[in-house]
Amino acid sequence: MRFINIKGFHDEDIAINVSNITSIMKSGNYVIILMCGDPPITTQFTDIASAVDYIQRASSMSLGKVA
């Protein structure tokens, strides 16, 4: 499982499991990431190519140790 961090449209931090992405689409001025079994995520990306590039290059999140 690989998690990355993105900013949602309203500047919220969102950790997503990249293996659950089913598609990325543009709807009007918004780029939306569709996840298997979860609500769509409206992002701050301006086009699909930028979203795909970021997802491929982003560093994985480290969840650290749980006590």
Residue pLDDT, tens place only, 30-55:
999 999 999 999 999 999 999 999 99
For residue 9, is it within any domain? yes
Q: What is the DSSP string of 38-66?
A: S--EEBS-SSHHHHHHHHHHSPPPP----
For residue 62, is it within any domain? no
Number of structural domains found in the chain: 1
For residue 64, is it within any domain? no
Lowest-confidence region among 6-10, 31-35, 49-53, 60-64: 60-64
For residue 45, is it within any domain? yes
Domain carrying residue 38: 3-57
The residue whose two tokens read 């996840």 is 35
Question: What percent of the chain is predicted at pLDDT more than 70?
Answer: 93
